Amino acid sequence: MKINRTLLLLATLFTISGCATTNLENNETLFKNPDPQIEALHVKAYNYDVGNGVEKNQAKANAFYLQAAQAGDPRSMMNYSINRFYGDGIQSDPIDAFYWIDKARLSTQQTPDMKLKWRIRAFYDEVEKNLTEEQKKEARSKK
Protein backbone atom coordinates (compact mmCIF):
# COMPACT_ATOMS: atom_id res chain seq x y z
CA MET A 1 0.00 0.00 0.00
CA LYS A 2 1.49 3.34 -1.06
CA ILE A 3 1.27 6.00 1.63
CA ASN A 4 -0.11 9.27 0.31
CA ARG A 5 2.56 11.93 0.91
CA THR A 6 0.03 14.74 1.21
CA LEU A 7 -2.01 12.87 3.81
CA LEU A 8 1.11 12.18 5.87
CA LEU A 9 2.11 15.84 5.80
CA LEU A 10 -1.39 17.06 6.61
CA ALA A 11 -1.56 14.60 9.47
CA THR A 12 1.41 16.37 11.04
CA LEU A 13 -0.65 19.56 11.14
CA PHE A 14 -2.29 18.16 14.24
CA THR A 15 1.11 17.49 15.82
CA ILE A 16 2.04 21.18 15.66
CA SER A 17 -0.45 21.99 18.42
CA GLY A 18 1.58 20.57 21.27
CA CYS A 19 2.56 17.72 23.57
CA ALA A 20 0.50 18.58 26.59
CA THR A 21 -2.33 20.02 24.56
CA THR A 22 -5.48 18.40 23.34
CA ASN A 23 -6.96 17.95 19.89
CA LEU A 24 -10.52 19.17 20.38
CA GLU A 25 -11.92 16.66 17.88
CA ASN A 26 -10.88 13.49 19.67
CA ASN A 27 -9.16 14.54 22.91
CA GLU A 28 -5.82 12.99 21.91
CA THR A 29 -2.47 14.03 23.35
CA LEU A 30 -0.24 15.53 20.67
CA PHE A 31 3.54 15.75 20.39
CA LYS A 32 5.28 19.09 20.62
CA ASN A 33 9.00 19.48 20.87
CA PRO A 34 9.79 20.87 24.33
CA ASP A 35 12.58 23.03 22.90
CA PRO A 36 10.88 26.17 21.49
CA GLN A 37 13.68 26.76 18.95
CA ILE A 38 13.34 23.26 17.52
CA GLU A 39 9.54 23.56 17.55
CA ALA A 40 9.82 26.87 15.66
CA LEU A 41 12.03 25.23 13.01
CA HIS A 42 9.50 22.44 12.53
CA VAL A 43 6.58 24.86 12.24
CA LYS A 44 8.50 27.04 9.77
CA ALA A 45 9.38 23.98 7.68
CA TYR A 46 5.80 22.77 7.71
CA ASN A 47 4.50 26.20 6.70
CA TYR A 48 6.82 26.27 3.66
CA ASP A 49 5.96 22.65 2.88
CA VAL A 50 2.22 23.28 2.60
CA GLY A 51 2.21 27.03 1.84
CA ASN A 52 0.63 28.04 5.14
CA GLY A 53 1.02 31.85 5.39
CA VAL A 54 4.04 31.80 3.07
CA GLU A 55 4.61 30.88 -0.55
CA LYS A 56 5.05 27.12 -0.81
CA ASN A 57 8.75 26.32 -1.20
CA GLN A 58 9.84 22.69 -0.89
CA ALA A 59 13.55 23.52 -0.88
CA LYS A 60 13.17 25.89 2.09
CA ALA A 61 10.89 23.40 3.82
CA ASN A 62 13.50 20.67 3.47
CA ALA A 63 16.27 22.91 4.78
CA PHE A 64 14.25 23.70 7.91
CA TYR A 65 13.07 20.09 8.31
CA LEU A 66 16.68 18.93 8.14
CA GLN A 67 17.78 21.45 10.80
CA ALA A 68 14.97 20.38 13.13
CA ALA A 69 15.60 16.70 12.36
CA GLN A 70 19.28 17.05 13.19
CA ALA A 71 18.22 18.68 16.47
CA GLY A 72 16.07 15.63 17.30
CA ASP A 73 12.51 16.48 16.21
CA PRO A 74 10.80 13.22 15.09
CA ARG A 75 8.08 14.98 13.05
CA SER A 76 10.75 16.79 11.06
CA MET A 77 12.66 13.53 10.62
CA MET A 78 9.50 11.95 9.21
CA ASN A 79 8.61 14.87 6.92
CA TYR A 80 12.17 15.22 5.65
CA SER A 81 12.22 11.48 5.00
CA ILE A 82 8.95 11.68 3.04
CA ASN A 83 10.27 14.51 0.89
CA ARG A 84 13.62 12.78 0.45
CA PHE A 85 11.96 9.52 -0.58
CA TYR A 86 9.63 11.11 -3.13
CA GLY A 87 12.08 13.79 -4.29
CA ASP A 88 9.88 16.72 -3.31
CA GLY A 89 12.10 19.81 -3.42
CA ILE A 90 15.18 17.67 -3.04
CA GLN A 91 16.84 14.85 -4.96
CA SER A 92 15.21 11.51 -4.21
CA ASP A 93 17.40 9.29 -2.05
CA PRO A 94 15.64 6.22 -0.59
CA ILE A 95 18.66 5.30 1.55
CA ASP A 96 18.78 8.73 3.20
CA ALA A 97 14.98 8.63 3.53
CA PHE A 98 15.28 5.30 5.36
CA TYR A 99 18.00 6.70 7.61
CA TRP A 100 15.71 9.53 8.75
CA ILE A 101 12.51 7.50 9.12
CA ASP A 102 14.38 4.81 11.07
CA LYS A 103 15.83 7.51 13.33
CA ALA A 104 12.32 8.96 13.81
CA ARG A 105 10.98 5.50 14.66
CA LEU A 106 13.67 4.96 17.28
CA SER A 107 13.24 8.45 18.75
CA THR A 108 9.51 7.96 19.41
CA GLN A 109 9.71 4.69 21.32
CA GLN A 110 8.94 6.47 24.60
CA THR A 111 6.40 9.03 23.36
CA PRO A 112 2.74 8.57 24.33
CA ASP A 113 1.60 9.98 20.95
CA MET A 114 0.40 6.79 19.28
CA LYS A 115 -0.78 8.60 16.14
CA LEU A 116 2.70 10.00 15.55
CA LYS A 117 4.19 6.56 16.15
CA TRP A 118 1.71 5.03 13.69
CA ARG A 119 2.46 7.62 10.99
CA ILE A 120 6.18 7.08 11.36
CA ARG A 121 5.82 3.30 11.37
CA ALA A 122 3.55 3.32 8.30
CA PHE A 123 6.05 5.33 6.29
CA TYR A 124 8.94 3.27 7.68
CA ASP A 125 7.24 0.14 6.31
CA GLU A 126 6.70 1.84 2.93
CA VAL A 127 10.36 2.81 2.58
CA GLU A 128 11.71 -0.43 4.02
CA LYS A 129 9.95 -2.64 1.49
CA ASN A 130 11.62 -0.68 -1.33
CA LEU A 131 15.16 -1.28 -0.10
CA THR A 132 17.47 -4.27 -0.12
CA GLU A 133 19.00 -5.51 3.11
CA GLU A 134 22.31 -4.04 1.98
CA GLN A 135 20.73 -0.61 1.46
CA LYS A 136 19.08 -0.75 4.90
CA LYS A 137 22.42 -1.68 6.44
CA GLU A 138 24.07 1.25 4.63
CA ALA A 139 21.41 3.65 5.93
CA ARG A 140 21.78 2.39 9.50
CA SER A 141 25.56 2.77 9.37
CA LYS A 142 25.28 6.54 8.71
CA LYS A 143 26.12 8.79 11.60
Which of 99, 93, 143 has the alpha carbon at shortest distance from 124? 99
Segments forming the whole domain that contains residue 45: 5-140
Counting the structural domains of the chain, the total is 1
Average pLDDT of the chain is 83
d(CA 44, CA 33): 13
CATH number for 43:
1.25.40
For residue 8, pLDDT over 90 is answered with: no
Q: What is the pLDDT of residue 142?
A: 87
Answer yes or no: is pLDDT of 2 > 90. no
